[in-house]
Amino acid sequence: MPYYGIDMNYIILILPALLFSMWAQHMVTSRFKKYSRVITANGLTGAEAAQEVLRKNGVSDVRIEPVAGNLTDHFDPRDNVIRLSQSVYDAQSIAAVGVAAHEAGHAIQYAHGYSPMKLRAAIIPVTSVGSKLAMPLVLLGLVLGMAGLINLGILFFSFAVLFQLITLPVEFNASMRALKILDEYGLLSQEEMPGAKKVLTAAAMTYVAALAVSLAQLLRLLAMSQNRGRR
């Protein structure tokens, strides 16, 4: 819906989602930085916290190793390994314990066959291909005036949106598992738990924001396709 050369769909749909994404990224960075300065009373490190969360859930075959970078923490189901960033692995902070426990939550999901995680893993091949081809197909369709290519690109892009949608329960569930173990077994004190929860909540919001951006883009593509069809 252009208006005097301005793409109003971008302003109405994409811009608010991008601003939300920027806010979410700022929140996770600032909260992690804040609670990285708060040392745990029991001196537990991120790596030790991940190991304890795994042990309390009966998972014993997952490796925990350091990885370069900042906030690069992740669980890799292909190698069955939790990789913790430099600011988490050896750190004795509330933020480090919270993030490490969250990644252990993903390992537990994988070990216990958590359905949304299995579904997300199953569509990764389609999502990977679709995310690479979606926009080139849409642009090629617009240039050549071929509605079929545009619609195929939108279909591929919708798989990426679906992947991010399925990611939400996976991320929220991992945090829930982590916080439950940290609280029930006293790995963090009652005074420390709110800090860990704030860090993980902020991290979860980045996934919500990513989904919002993708949904906004999908709606914009659909609007472009419909407007072109009316011509």
Where exactly are the structural domains of the chain? 2-230
Q: What is the pLDDT of residues 112-135, one digit of tens each?
A: 999 999 999 889 888 888 888 999
Confidence of residue 230 (pLDDT cuts 50, 70, 90): low
Instruction: Kindly name the residue from 48, 52, 65, 103 that is annotated as catalytic.
Output: 103
227: pLDDT strictly greater than 80: no
Arithmetic mean of pLDDT, 123-148: 88
pLDDT of residue 3: 45
- Is the torsion defined by CA of 94, 96, 99, 104 positive or negative? negative
Mean residue pLDDT of the chain comes to 91
Arithmetic mean of pLDDT, 162-188: 95
Residue with the two structure tokens 């079929």:
148
User: pTM of this prediction?
Assistant: 0.87
What is the distance between the alpha carbons of residues 152 and 130, in angstroms, rounded to a whole number? 10
Q: In the chain, helix, strand, coil percent, each to 5?
A: 75, 10, 20
Question: Are 199 and 64 spatial neighbours (Cβ–Cβ below 8 Å)?
Answer: no
Active site residue 48: no
What is the distance between the alpha carbons of residues 50 and 103, in angstroms, rounded to a whole number? 7
Confidence of residue 147 (pLDDT cuts 50, 70, 90): confident
Span of 37-46, 53-62, 155-164, 222-231 with lowest mean pLDDT: 222-231
Report the DSSP pairing between strands 74-76 and 63-67: unpaired
Provide the 10 A C-beta neighbour count for residue 8. Answer: 12
218 vs 94, 137, 173, CA distance in Å?
A: 38, 14, 26
What is the distance between the alpha carbons of residues 35 and 96, in angstroms, rounded to a whole number? 8
Question: Are 75 and 63 spatial neighbours (Cβ–Cβ below 8 Å)?
Answer: no
Arithmetic mean of pLDDT, 206-220: 94
Which distant-in-sequence residues (6+ apart) come within 8 Å of 19 by Cβ?
A: none
pLDDT of residue 6: 52
